[in-house]
Amino acid sequence: MNSELMEALDMLEKEKEISKDTLFDAIENSLITACKNHFGKADNVKVEIDRETCDFLCYAEKEVVEEVEDDCVQISYEDAQKVSPKAELGDMIHVEIKSKEFGRIATQNAKNVILQKIREEERSVIYNQYYEKEKDVVTGIVQRYMGRNISINLGKADGILNESEQVRGENFRPTERIKVYILEVKNTPKGPKILVSRTHPELVKRLFETEVTEIKDGTVEIMSIAREAGSRTKIAVRSNNPNVDAVGACVGMNGARVNTIVEELRGEKIDIVNWDDNPGILIQNALSPAKIVAVFADPDEKTAKVVVPDYQLSLAIGKEGQNARLAARLTGYKIDIKNETQAKDAPGFRYEDYEYDDEDYDEDSYGEEGLEAELYDGESYDEETYNEEDGETEVE
């Protein structure tokens, strides 16, 4: 029996990752519970288990007395002599309890104590495993739709993909494998509750960290990310090694790296731009692929005024203002975009210093001369407003 018990404990430890010490404690508690059910009390009951052989001894500490008033804690002198010939009145002796003598109810209760402890420990182990993966990306298998939410099998536990965390237009089939971002892991009486997301910007960041070796080893650093899930993402990267091109490392040979991420995101467009500590250059990069004539950035107010060629205004703004909106989120600046015609008429704007010539223009050649930090005291705009009549927009 002892060898079978040891094999059972080894199997539980391996399969459910529950330590044998915890299981031994559960067995000890179950025996004490059985004694309490059998004798009515168990305050003086002790259980000793040999962790190497699984041999156990269950005994009660009883006082030797002439006349027994409570046989649970006392033993007569005559009976004590049978247990230990050296016993004297007033001594405390150990009286062995035979577990085989326990009744059916006491035995069932002992079994339930062990099973309950195993379940608790199993839930605790699973919770700790997924709590360590919080704010990380894992691969899951789509199980079923629960109303508008989706149950995702993450291995040892199920995650819940709420409707608010689903990308509009994405449809999954049961047994389909997808990557999800673990938002939160809650510990509940029924086990860990895991909330996952497909819309969080960190999902894209973690996918790049997994796919791009240079990001994983710290050579390339992701400085900022802005995402409109299912449509487009802008990501700003910086290289800590002058010999490594940050954008090129993220794109990969023939776009292999970024295409893998795009495929996982079901065709979501990804713009990768270079980060720059100069806010003017950063805003210029963030508004790509649009060409920029001039940028006036105020780091204190976190506002910027951008001038683009007339024919580039719609490209800079993007469909429904998306390009400008993502650029604003990426840089943290409130951006006001004007075309050249409107900029010339703007009060206080010295456009003569920033005249644009098609022949001399190079979208990548902007020095400090073309990026002047200047407080722009313009009209206040709400986020995502665009007026097609006057050809200007401002986003936060």
**DSSP assignments along 336-372, one per residue:** EEEEHHHHHHSTT--GGGG---TTT--TT---GGGEE
Report the distance separating Cα 155 and Cα 323, nearest Å.
38
Which is nearest to 228 in space by CA: 160, 325, 139, 317? 325
Instruction: Tell me the percentage of the chain whose pLDDT exceeds 90.
Output: 44
Handedness of CA 95, 101, 104, 107 (dihedral sign): positive
Calculate the dihedral angle through the C-alpha atoms of 391, 351, 308, 287, rounding to the nearest 10 degrees.
-120
Q: Which residues contact 175 (CB under 8 A, 6 or more apart)?
A: 141, 142
| pLDDT above 50 for 371 | no
Give burial (CB, 10 Å; 0-12/13-18/19+) of 355: exposed
Q: For residue 265, what pLDDT is reported? A: 93
Report how far residue 219's alpha carbon sits from residue 213's, in angstroms, rounded to the nearest whole number.
Answer: 9
Average pLDDT over residues 327-344: 89
Q: Provide the token pair at 102.
A: 């326990």
In this structure, how many other beta carbons lie within 10 angstroms of the beta carbon of residue 372? 14
pLDDT more than 70, % of the chain: 84
User: Can you read off the two tokens belonging to residue 377?
Assistant: 């005291």
Q: Do 198 and 180 meet the contact criterion of CB atoms below 8 Å apart?
A: yes
Average pLDDT on 125-154 reads: 93
* Cα separations in angstroms, 247 against 48, 193, 218: 65, 38, 14
pLDDT digit string (tens) for 353-367?
444 333 333 434 333
Decide if 231 contacts 297 (C-beta within 8 A): no
* pLDDT above 50 for 391: no
- Tell me the two tokens of residue 155: 């291995």
pLDDT tens string 11-60: 877 877 788 888 888 888 887 777 777 666 667 778 887 777 777 778 77
Q: What is the pTM of this model?
A: 0.68
The letter for the amino acid at 113 is: V
Instruction: Say if residue 383's pLDDT is above 60.
Output: no
Asked if 223 contacts 238 with a C-beta cutoff of 8 angstroms, the reply is yes
Position 101 confidence tier, pLDDT thresholds 50, 70, 90: low
Cα–Cα distance measured from residue 323 to residue 199, given in angstroms and rounded to the nearest whole number: 18
Where would I find the beta strands (DSSP E) of 92-241?
Answer: 92-96, 137-146, 149-153, 158-161, 177-188, 191-197, 220-228, 232-239
- Listed range (231-245, 257-271, 344-358) with the worst mean pLDDT: 344-358
Q: Which residues pair with 236 in a beta bridge?
A: 224, 273
Question: 46-50, 189-193, 258-262, 269-273: which range is least confident on average?
Answer: 46-50
* Tokens read off for 86: 């050296």
Least confident of 26-40, 202-216, 236-250: 26-40
Which stretches of the chain are DSSP H helices? 2-16, 20-39, 77-83, 104-131, 201-211, 213-216, 246-251, 256-264, 279-286, 313-317, 322-331, 340-345
Average pLDDT, the chain: 81
- Cα dihedral value 216, 222, 226, 230, nearest 10: -20
Omega of the bond prior to 309 within 30 degrees of 0, cis? no
HSE-up (13 A, CA, CB side) for residue 65: 12
Q: How far apart are CA 273 and CA 363, in angstroms?
A: 13
Of 52, 61, 44, the closest CA to residue 24 belongs to 52
pLDDT over threshold 60, residue 393 = no
Average pLDDT over residues 244-270: 93
Longest C-alpha distance within the chain, in Å? 117
Taking phi over 0 as left and psi of -120 to 50 as alpha, with beta for the rest, 185 belongs to beta
